[in-house]
Amino acid sequence: QSVLTQPPSVSGAPGQRVTITCTGSSSNIGAGYDVHWYQQLPGTVPKLLIYGTRNRPSGVPDRFSGSKSGTSASLAITGLQAEDEADYYCQSCDSSLRGVFGGGTKLTVL
Amino acid sequence: EVQLLESGGSLVQPGGSLRLSCAASGFTFSSYAMSWVRQAPGKGLEWVSAIGGSGGSTYYADSVKGRFTISRDNSKNTLYLQMNSLRAEDTAVYYCAKRSWYSGSWYDDYWGQGTLVTVSS
């Protein structure tokens, strides 16, 4: 049982927009801690996708964007491409500065 | 270029011990916190432990507290995870990651390739 809750799967057709939600509590996201997102392509190491809720590391396309409201956060992917098919994880902190992850969301590009 | 190379993973019996290492290069190791994250086969990511740049602050997930110890040797640019009283549920790929801080939260900006720990009799 992960501390942060994500939908197990989402899907979309090429070119469409999909969103992945990440729901926490007043102990983590709701306490004001930022949310970060990771992309794990099949058989590879997780890669940082979004940090500080809405910032993209160098090299990450602007098709990926993040937002946060209250105890939840969202990752939006626009102009969906086949290469976006992967597992996506959200991460935040708790009041003890320990990391917490979501259970992960598998994105399928139809 | 940041590089993180884990080692030490192997097959170990329940109740046994293992020490993982992570050799870092490409950045000023002592200036950054580091973490361990694990992923059981076919499962999601689980945060395990973290340590401050000087080694003075350590953090553990409840699932490993009292059994695992994180440490670092800044003179060798190496991070460690001592794992004792291992259980079957500790079976996973263990990743070390470099931590960065942004506006009130830690995140892991670089990850190693991982090392597999299998706990089984």
Query: A53-99 pLDDT, tens per residue?
Result: 999 999 999 999 999 999 999 999 999 999 999 999 999 998 888 89
In chain B, the residue whose alpha carbon lies closest to the alpha carbon of A39 is B45
Nearest-by-Cβ selection for B108 from A2, A48, A100:
A48
Interval B21-31: pLDDT, tens: 999 999 999 99
Which residues neighbour B25 within 8 Å (Cβ) at sequence distance 6 or greater?
Answer: B2, B3, B77
Could you tell me if B44 and A103 are in contact, meaning their C-beta atoms sit under 8 angstroms apart? yes
**Mean pLDDT confidence for A26-49:** 95
CB contact under 8 A, B105 and A103: no
B108 or B104, greater pLDDT: B108
Which residues of A make CB contacts under 8 Å with B? 2, 32-36, 38, 40, 45-48, 51-52, 55, 57, 87, 89, 91-93, 96-104
Query: Quick one: tokens of B1?
Result: 């270029």
pLDDT above 90 (res B105) = no
**Encoded amino acid at B58, one letter:** T
